[in-house]
Amino acid sequence: MALQITLPGQEGSGRVVGIDLGTTNSLVAYVEKGEAKVIPGQDGGIVPSVVTLDDSGNIVSVGVHAKKNALIDAAHTVYSVKRLMGKSYTDVQKESGMLSYKLAPREEGLVRVRIGNREYTPIELSSFILKELKDRAESYIGETVTKAVITVPAYFNDAQRQATKDAGRLAGLEVLRIINEPTAAALAYGLDRKKNGIVAVYDFGGGTFDISILKLSDGIFEVRSTNGDTYLGGDDIDRRLMELFLTQINRIEPKFEPTPEDLQRIRTDSERVKVELSTKNEATVEMVFAAQNVSYKRRITRQELEMMAKPILERTRKPCLDAMADAGLHPDDIDDVVLVGGATRMPAVKALVQEIFKRKPNDSLNPDETVALGAAIQADVLAGGTKDILLLDVTPLSLGIETIGGMMSTIIPRNTTIPTKARETYTTFADNQTGVEVNVYQGERDFVKDNRHLASFTLKGIPPMVAGLAKISVTFLIDADGILHVTALEEHTGLSAEVEVKPSYGLTDEEIERMLRESIQYAKEDIVGRRLVEAKTEAERVTNATERVLGQIRRHEIDIPEDRLKTLNINQLIDDLYALKKAVAGDDPTEIKAKLDLLEKSTEPLAQEIMNASVAQALEGKKLEEV
């Protein structure tokens, strides 16, 4: 039986929201007066899927501030955690060398991230992001948010779906439904346009790729097929750029050994270059690693990037062709191709999609917001708001059990519409066999050793019989979330055993219960502590930057004329700087924030002057046509 825990504030119905828990960025949306809207924060609608923690396990920041912290405290900042969901250490070990944070080597079980002396599962880290989205929604709507629909890549397996659901529970959310990201995108697309026809949703995000073929017909959204790769996305293109830059830096300085902050700087610049080259023909990367006395600068063209990215993008072709084949369709049968995911902004992606589907893709939707909006629509359907919509999704991978010889006996084939139920009958293979072990697997290979093991349970107490006489009926039930329930029944005796499949790479009910109770016990303390840690971290970042610039001015490393310096009121800036440092020594986050605002206001004229000086220096000696 699944664990059920009611948290304070969850007794009532509460508001239901839709959440896109992304690899790079996450969003939360809701439906108001029939219109789906992304919920904004002070820093915009998108929340970077980044978390910074200290050695004691305190959350320093989540989102925008955490992304900034990655450049100054990379070892304590975790990003792209979605790519770790439902994975073992062996699954992701090859990527660990390019991460600025550490993975804890473990022979079995869920991979863990090590920060200081503590280890965190991807489920826990994802729950911190979901909690941030929950808090944002409550602050904006002015109501308690207790329930959510959360999206996952269509090709997420059972372990990854269960991990996402567990993360929601840890964040204090009742996850009403797990839906596939392309399906959510189709909801937003179809509801807005009231269209009918066959639609392909090409979803290429930061860490995952999905292709889904849907039939839209008078409010019925029927997924015909789905395919993809849960470890393929824009992050892989960033990594190729990182490898290029690191290789060339090592040619300049063979002894160069990047620190976590250096790696994060290279990663950030790689992502920036990729984004710039979506709209420009060339970009410049310039990095200085002062501690190792290494500087690196080069221009990179869109053509170079596309050559590096081509093998990665080509990996999306076969899933698209397979999805069409599974649906019994050809490119001419597709009425529209919708692009979802930030990486689809790349011109090379659009060109490849047009080549595969023989038509120009539809890029009119905001690829960052569509999935969250679709999730909000489904949330409103479940809350009894939006009417006349029926969502028929599919299971992405085949499910079955192990039979003699290590063979995989498929009970539910991939791309079966869910919810669904299927049954197969088996028998014993030895005389007087009194028990049968049922091993559940997920995958497309003929032998179970090549598929993913999900669960095992034993049907005991079968009366001794001649081999082949017992009739054991195995029933698979997949619920609307894509979560599997398995029952085994011996038909002669009525003996039965059942299990809600718990993936190999998830959290136990006991672990979840402990974490939830701790979150309740320490809720107020955590909120106060987090506010203080966030305020101090941001204050220290600003004071360090300010002191560095003042030092450069004293050493004449920044060229600002004396007459201009007199107008900048440097003395007031210094007073505000020391006032902030004094506040940081205390424990009042409100006081720290007030002094931080004063310092930031004092530094604005100086920042503008430095920018003017930098531009003037860059243009010095150049003709107008060279600018």
Distance CA 420, CA 551 (A): 68
- Among residues 258, 245, 189, 266, the alpha carbon closest in space to that of 221 is found at 189
* Helix (H) or strand (E) run with residue 393 in it: strand 390-394
Q: Which residues of the chain have pLDDT under 50?
A: 1-12, 618-619, 622-627
Q: What is the DSSP-derived secondary structure letter of residue 503?
A: -
> Helices marked H in 522-622 — which ranges?
523-554, 562-566, 570-584, 589-619
| Residue from 20, 73, 336, 538 carrying the catalytic annotation | 20
Distance CA 131, CA 133 (A): 5
Q: Taking each helix axis as running N to C, give the angle between helix 589-619 and helix 570-584, from 0 to 180 degrees, rounded to the nearest 10.
A: 140
Q: Which pair of tokens denotes residue 358?
A: 């023989």
Cβ(320)–Cβ(202) below 8 Å: yes
Helix/strand/coil percent split, the chain, to 5: 45, 25, 30
| Chain centroid, CA 357 distance in Å | 27
pTM, 2 dp: 0.75
pLDDT in tens, 475-527: 999 888 777 888 888 888 888 877 666 555 555 556 556 655 665 666 666 66
Q: Which residues contact 359 (CB under 8 A, 6 or more apart)?
A: 331, 334, 336, 337
| Residue from 73, 124, 138, 203 carrying the catalytic annotation | 203
| Residue from 166, 181, 261, 369 carrying the catalytic annotation | 181
Residue 308: exposed, middle, or buried by beta-carbon count in 10 A (0-12, 13-18, 19+)?
Answer: middle
Please tell me the predicted confidence (pLDDT) of residue 5.
Answer: 29
Q: How many CB atoms lie within 10 A of CB 515?
A: 18
- Among residues 85, 82, 1, 3, the alpha carbon closest in space to that of 505 is found at 85
> Helices marked H in 155-208 — which ranges?
158-170, 181-193
The residue assigned the tokens 């009910």 is: 509
**Phi/psi of residue 410, each to 5°?**
-75, 130
Q: Which residues contact 23 (CB under 8 A, 6 or more apart)?
A: 49, 80, 82, 83, 205, 206, 207, 208, 233, 235
For residue 203, indicate whether it is catalytic: yes
- Among residues 541, 474, 388, 411, the alpha carbon closest in space to that of 65 is found at 541
Q: Which residues contact 158 (CB under 8 A, 6 or more apart)?
A: 399, 442, 454, 482, 483, 484, 501, 503
For residue 20, indicate whether it is catalytic: yes
Q: Which pair of tokens denotes residue 414?
A: 């991939």
Amino acid sitting at position 571: N
Rg (CA), the chain: 27
414 sits in the region (left: phi over 0; alpha: psi -120 to 50; else beta) called beta
Q: How many CB atoms lie within 10 A of CB 608?
A: 11
Cβ(206)–Cβ(80) below 8 Å: yes
| Residue from 67, 82, 147, 536 carrying the catalytic annotation | 82
Q: What is the DSSP-derived secondary structure letter of residue 294?
A: E
Q: Which residues contact 489 (CB under 8 A, 6 or more apart)?
A: 472, 473, 474, 475, 495, 496
Amino acid sitting at position 161: R
Distance CA 98, CA 556 (A): 38
Cβ(19)–Cβ(131) below 8 Å: no
Residue 372: exposed, middle, or buried by beta-carbon count in 10 A (0-12, 13-18, 19+)?
Answer: buried
Q: Taking each helix axis as running N to C, give the angle between helix 523-554 and helix 589-619, from 0 to 180 degrees, rounded to the nearest 10.
A: 30
Distance CA 120, CA 55 (A): 12
Please tell me the predicted confidence (pLDDT) of residue 292.
Answer: 83
Amino acid sitting at position 510: E
The residue assigned the tokens 């990047």 is: 258
Distance CA 532, CA 149 (A): 31
For residue 181, indicate whether it is catalytic: yes
Distance CA 172, CA 177 (A): 15
Q: Which pair of tokens denotes residue 594?
A: 């007030």
